[in-house]
Chains A and B, each alone.
Chain A
Amino acid sequence: MATYYSKDHEWITVNGAEGVMGITAYAAQQLGDVVYVDLPAAGKSVKQHEVLCAIESVKAASDIYAPLSGSVTAVNDKLATAPELVNQSAEQEAWIATLTLSNPAEVSALMDRAAYDTYVAGLK
């Protein structure tokens, strides 16, 4: 089991052909107070880097991209009533969706924690 990060600031923890994903703490902090997570529908299938769903904060609306290709098996219903979880615990409690991965080898296009931290440091 390992966690990977995208340049679009999503994280995904991969366990075999299963993945659980969300947005990074850095993304949540950049968005400001999150007021709504437009959760994807279960069963929706997406390709890597395609729009999975959207998130709204008090100052912006942004798309969330699928870090890996797959289909949605479950969504975090807690976010429907408590979108603030994204600000409080972006990389733990505020997971957005679980995916059945269609091509786990795509992780080669993602970053590990150290590479992502360097990437974010470069943005500041």
Chain B
Amino acid sequence: MLQVCGVSSIEALFADIPASLRTASFNLPPGRTEQEITGTAAAWISHTAVHSRSFIGAGYYDHFIPAAVDALANRSEFVTAYTPYQPECAQGTLQALFEYQTAICRLTGMDAANASLYDGGSALAEAGMMALRITKRNKVVVTGDVNPLHRRILETYFRTLGSDVVTVPAKNHAPDLAALAAAIDDKTAAVLVQNPDFYGGIHDFAPLADLAHKTGALLVMSCYPIALGMLKTPAEHGADIAVGDGQSLGNPLSFGGPYLGYIATRRQYIRQLPGRIIGETVDTQGRRGFVLTLQAREQHIRREKATSNICSNQSLCALRAVIYLSLLGKQGFVELAERLYRTTAYARQQFQAAGFPLPQTGPVFNEFVVTLPRPAARVVSRLHLVSQLSVGLPLAALSAGTEHNLLVSFTEQHDRADIDTLIAALAEQAAKA
């Protein structure tokens, strides 16, 4: 190999990299056979605590994924394909993404969606930047009950743009609508909200949308997509851009990714939508076909004036999302949302009966805040060990609440017995306080 490259040694090959930047050792053990590695991995897995039930949500949810999602999405035509550089040759990929965009439009009530973004956080940041371009203003207002991780991504993007993110703190785990209204001025490009919010609360943002529009600002709404089976769509709230994390649509949690972000908007803003957009057309013989459309927005043509630096998407995750949605169907999707709502209502009732303070006063969808008599982080680690339960997210971990507050979340993976087990375990810990 060195001979082919025309260098005398490994040292010579890496001569261009300063020695101080090179690692002294990769600290790798000696090579082992496949059989040995398989045995080692199996031993590791057996030591890993596999929790019987997790009640951690906070934006990413453990949903049942029908086997057909894996069976179809794992076909090698989809799995092995990298981003198609000659996209129109990959008609199957384009058609799947076109159907995905259609599904996102139906969920959100919007006119146009792109072929997906990286995750919910980058989708929120892209929506904020879209609003800057549309309004030619330089500031967005975000409410503190938007997912704190997503807000951090938004702030990172905006810091590098030299644009401002004004955060209006949440009040009692809900948006402070009066303070939000006061924060909107003629320099505000958009107000960014989330429904259900990070704490699971359901809100009506229509009055805020009206107020934002009166000052020439947009409303950006982030939504947990499953909730849209039951709640008003972002379009019905009067939002101009709808975003969210699409993980819950057929994608496993997988220790943090890959996921997908969705973004959709109204017809008049299509040209400011970032990323790839698939369009339907007819070929010279009148046959239905699919193309990448409105590409002049993208950086391979528009260069530094492109709508976004994003030039890729999460095709495989978006494919899983559209397969998942088509398997559930219109009715099944609504039933799933209703089931989550009912399960969560049952849990709320039981928590109340067990004497736990629940600080939220308004309606919640799939999760809510419980106040424990002891610091939540300690209870969480204790119950990991003794009960193999992941009882929820201590809000202090994300600077999203005080140390006694725990965020618990419910999906169709939980039945009443699971909820009773959770509450009994937390009550037992509380009794020790």
Whether B302 pairs with A41 at a CB distance below 8 angstroms is no
Whether B301 pairs with A61 at a CB distance below 8 angstroms is yes
Alpha-carbon distance A76/B21, docked complex (angstroms): 58
Contact of B305 (CB < 8 Å), options: A35, A36, A54, A57: A54
- The interface residues of chain B lying within 8 Å CB-to-CB of A54 are 305
Whether A35 pairs with B296 at a CB distance below 8 angstroms is yes
Kindly report which residue of chain B lies nearest to residue A80, judged by CB atoms.
Answer: B268
| Given A36-B296, A60-B296, A61-B296, A41:B301 Cβ within 8 A | no
Whether B136 pairs with A56 at a CB distance below 8 angstroms is no
- The interface residues of chain A lying within 8 Å CB-to-CB of B136 are 41
Chain A 16-46 per-residue mask, 1 if CB under 8 angstroms from chain B, else 0: 0000000000000000000110100100000
Interface secondary structure of B, over-half rule: helix
- The interface residues of chain B lying within 8 Å CB-to-CB of A41 are 136
Assign chain B's interface to a size class: under 10
Whether A36 pairs with B301 at a CB distance below 8 angstroms is no
B271 adjacent to chain A (CB < 8 Å): yes
- The interface residues of chain A lying within 8 Å CB-to-CB of B305 are 54, 61, 63
| Given A36-B296, A41-B136, A60:B301 Cβ within 8 A | yes
Alpha-carbon distance A36/B272, docked complex (angstroms): 13
Alpha-carbon distance A60/B303, docked complex (angstroms): 11
- The interface residues of chain B lying within 8 Å CB-to-CB of A38 are 271
Q: How far is the CB of A32 from chain B (nearest CB, A)?
A: 11
Which of A57, A60, A61 has the most C-beta atoms of chain B within 10 angstroms of its own C-beta? A61
- The interface residues of chain A lying within 8 Å CB-to-CB of B271 are 36, 38
- The interface residues of chain A lying within 8 Å CB-to-CB of B301 are 60-61
- The interface residues of chain B lying within 8 Å CB-to-CB of A61 are 296-297, 301-302, 305
Alpha-carbon distance A58/B168, docked complex (angstroms): 43
Q: How far is the CB of B73 from chain A (nearest CB, A)?
A: 33
Q: How far is the CB of A106 from chain B (nearest CB, A)?
A: 25
Q: Which residues does A use to contact B, with CB under 8 Å? A: 35-36, 38, 41, 54, 56-57, 60-61, 63
